[in-house]
Structure 1
């Protein structure tokens, strides 16, 4: 895939996520991940993982969100830069906050603040301070919540170009901390100014939050009818963009207010609205369960594709190397024999030159299918590109592996492929080696020995087996 095609897929993922189309974002992320893996493009792979994590979080699929952020962090360690790590902290915070693991949430924010300040990404630093303030307010540490929010506002003012909504979001946390500290006069000035800010016409979520906060301020002042009116406005706004989690908190407060006011009729209606929402949320959970099943299926599919060769369906070198390294490390302790058989088709270039590469691919696919039938379910067989294959056998001696190699060679000789009315016979050269009583502990070392034996088979005339002792 061309570089511009990958960039187009990345843009599509970001566009869908900004629009709040999370399930479509997940599907687009899978497409981007497949393309990124095929092209070995780190930016595409990281973009897919982090947007998957954020989208899973937004639909409530927390287990899958953790899966994606783990994949992001692991891949980022080898292929990402500091800006990529900073993005990872932002998503990881959301997951810790959702699980109410506030200590881990704060640790993650501290790392984000440190790295963000180093990179001068002041918008991200501002958001981190704002989130830190929110966590401290939940813990009723309002003085420190105010301090963090004020630091966030200072960072927001350093961000270029100036972004008013960034400053507004931090100011919400300042006002929230002031209300918690009972500094109601100062909080009133802030909240009333924010409620009437024309900026909110373009930001409905923040408009909902400020009316919710205004209701909280009025409840502190025991101005219950006015507080109920503020919560009614917040309710309508939350319903307009279907933020059910924020709406749940608003409806709970309306019910409490109606009880404090002794308004039975209005309280009954508020209670009914709350019950209806809970029913909707339960139905939403059922829907999400179905989404999660689909997501898990897609994850297993993409992992399987990432580990397999596109032409033959056999394992690719990356998976073979990773798994064999693990087996060899265990064998070094247990004394188990691990054997590698390497083989490739004799004279593939001549076939490609005579009949074309499409025919050559058909031959390679057929060899992979026939040989895969002869190995045990617990062993590995992979294609390394071109016509070279490798098989990793556990708990077999070299002599036993020789018999297996003879069966493989005979299976290849028995293949007859028709082309233009002519049946073409095939032969292969085979090399085998073992882990030398546990002294060979890496796939690359084991495969090298088998590959040397394969080269000897070629030099000796092809269509034969050589064993590396």
Structure 2
């Protein structure tokens, strides 16, 4: 793919996310990631990961957001520049915010502000000040929240070209701080102006946020019926683009307002909607409890550069290579057999073209789950990008490894995934090779032999196993 096409894809991803079209953003990110990997273009890969992270986060798919953040930080370590490092601060802030570790969140934002000023990326500086203001408001430090928001507005005005939505986002935080300080007269000037701003016709998330803020403003003034109308509008908007995180906060405030109004019937309905959302979040994130308990562990894992593949949870290529090289060196002195099984899904491109990359991603994850259940706990399975996997087996003969390969292939064939009312069957091509009595001493050489056998399996019609003797 030409450089111009990659840049066009990057711009498409950014535009979709700014417009709040998160599911479309995720699909575009997978296209960009595939193209970036094929062209070995770090900027495209990093752009895909970071926008995937933000989009998954906004629709409430927290576990998937963490995987994308993991992938971004991991890849940025070896391939990113100062700009990418700055973006990395932004995604790490999301993790700290989600885990309610506000001290780490503020430290991360302070680093982003400092580096952003050095690089003169005032849009990122402005957003960092806005986020800092939000954290301070959560801590009820409204005076400093106002100060941070005002600094964010100054930074937004320095951004070239002038971007009205950037300034609008900061004004939301200024108004929020003023409401917290009970300076309702000053807050009203901001809120009334923002609610009717035609700019919001193109920015649905900010439109949702301003109606949410308007509801809070009216609650402070004890104008309860109008406040409920504002929250109802914010709820309707958040539901329209599936922003579960924002919706959760809006529903909490609606429940609180109904209680203040003494409207039992409406309060019951509001509570039921809120409970239904929590149930949906529970299913969507696997389990909210497990995610919350695992957040701090995830952060430390990401910060020290994880060894796992961001999508499947299997080992990544770096870890697989390092570990296999170690095993091969030990095998020379022990006279041990080390076998590599290379497995590649058949016809993934056709499935992606027909059903989309999100569906293709689900298939890859499922294959990883099924195959890893077929190997011993001491063996190793890694993903090499796309749909290719490497399974490394210790102390097995080539004949025993062939039998294991048959089990793996049968496990893939047994997968039945439903899509649009039909069940889709899967097959794979498999190549097997061993370390040739200790003469092969690196993962690269061992995998190359298995890959040659895999290519032969593809050439012979796919859905089969070939062994390199």
TM-score normalized by the length of structure 2: 0.61
Contact 1:89/1:112 (CA < 8 Å) preserved in 2?
Answer: yes
CA distance in structure 2 between the aligned counterparts of 1:41 and 1:60, rounded to whole angstroms: 29
Aligned counterparts of 2:143 and 2:43: Cα–Cα separation in 1: 41
Residues 349-395 of structure 1 deviation map (CA, whole Å, 9 limit, x = unaligned): xxxxxxxxxxxxxxxxxxxxxxxxxxx998999xxxxxxxxxx9979
SS at match of 1:323: helix
> What do residues 183-224 of structure 1 show as CA deviations (whole Å, max 9, x unaligned)?
232223332333333333333332332232233233223333
Aligned counterparts of 1:237 and 1:64: Cα–Cα separation in 2: 23
CA contact (8 A) 1:215 1:228 kept: yes
Q: Secondary structure at the match of 1:299?
A: coil
- Please report how far the alpha carbon of residue 149 of structure 1 lies from its aligned counterpart in structure 2 after TM superposition: 0.8
* Alignment partner, residue 93 of structure 2: 93
User: Can you list the C-alpha shifts for 1:232-280, whole angstroms capped at 9, x where unaligned?
Assistant: 4434444454444434433443443344344x4xx41243144134325
Whichever of the two has the greater Rg, that structure is 1
Rounded to whole Å, the distance in 2 between the matches of 1:340 and 1:237 is 57
Which residue of 2 is the match for residue 371 of structure 1? Answer: none
Offset at 1:22? 4.0
Number of the residue aligned with 2:312: 300
| 1:18-33 map, 5 Å | 18=18, 20-23=20-23, 25-33=25-33
Higher relative contact order (CA closer than 8 Å, sequence separation 6+): 2
Gaps of 5+ in 1: 291-295, 308-317, 342-375, 382-391, 405-429, 448-469
Taking a change above 3 Å as real, the CA distance of residues 232 and 54 of structure 1, as seen in their structure-2 partners, is: closer
Q: Do the aligned partners of residues 55 and 187 (structure 1) sit closer, same or farther apart at CA in structure 2, a change above 3 Å counting? A: closer
Partner of 1:357: none
CA contact (8 A) 2:218 2:224 kept: yes
Between the aligned partners of 2:284 and 2:380, the Cα distance in structure 1 is: 39
Q: Which residue of 2 aligns with 1:72?
A: 72
Within a 5 Å distance, the mapping from 1:227-376 to structure 2 comes to 227-262=227-262, 264=263, 267-283=264-280, 285-286=282-283, 289=286, 299-300=311-312, 307=317, 321-327=321-327
- Taking a change above 3 Å as real, the CA distance of residues 50 and 173 of structure 1, as seen in their structure-2 partners, is same
2:60–2:284 Cα contact (<8 Å) kept: no
Post-superposition offset of 1:81: 0.9
For the residues of structure 2 that align with 1:3 and 1:204, how far apart are their CA atoms? 31
Cα separation, 2, equivalents of 1:11 and 1:185 = 40
- Alpha-carbon offset, residue 72 of structure 1: 1.5
Over 3 Å counting, the alpha-carbon distance change for 1:178 and 1:324 in structure 2 is same
Q: Equivalent residue for 1:149?
A: 149
- What are the ranges of 5 or more consecutive residues in structure 2 without an aligned counterpart? 288-307, 340-374, 382-391, 399-434, 447-469
Corresponding residue of 1:40: 40
8 Å contact 1:336–1:395 — kept in the other structure? no
RMSD of aligned C-alpha atoms? 4.6
Give me the whole-angstrom Cα distance separating, in 1, the residues matched to 2:274 and 2:44: 39
Q: Whole-Å Cα distance in 1 between the matches of residues 21 and 214 of structure 2?
A: 30
Query: Could you report, residue by residue, the CA deviation over 1:95-146 in whole angstroms, capped at 9, with x for unpaired residues?
Result: 2212222122112211111111111110110010000000011011112111
Verify the 8 A CA contact 1:244 1:281 in the aligned structure 2. Answer: no
**Change beyond 3 A, Cα 1:34–1:199:** closer
Q: 1:118 to 1:285 in 2, by over 3 A?
A: same
Aligned-partner Cα distance in 1 for 2:254–2:379: 63
**Structure 1 residues 336 and 28: alpha-carbon distance in aligned structure 2, compared to 1, 3 A threshold:** farther
Q: What TM-score does the superposition give when structure 1 sets the normalisation length? A: 0.61
Which contiguous aligned blocks of 4+ residues in structure 1 show a shift greater than 6 angstroms?
Answer: 335-341, 376-381, 392-396, 430-435
Distance 1:269 1:109, change over 3 A: same
CA contact (8 A) 1:132 1:148 kept: yes
Q: CA deviation at 1:336?
A: 6.5
2:59/2:242 contact within 8 Å kept: no
Say if 2:20 and 2:205, in contact at 8 Å, map to a contact too: no
- C-alpha deviation, 1:339, in angstroms: 9.5
Q: Secondary structure at the match of 1:100?
A: coil
Specify whether residues 92 and 192 from structure 1 end up closer, same or farther in structure 2 by C-alpha distance, changes over 3 A only: same
Match of 2:192 in 1: 192
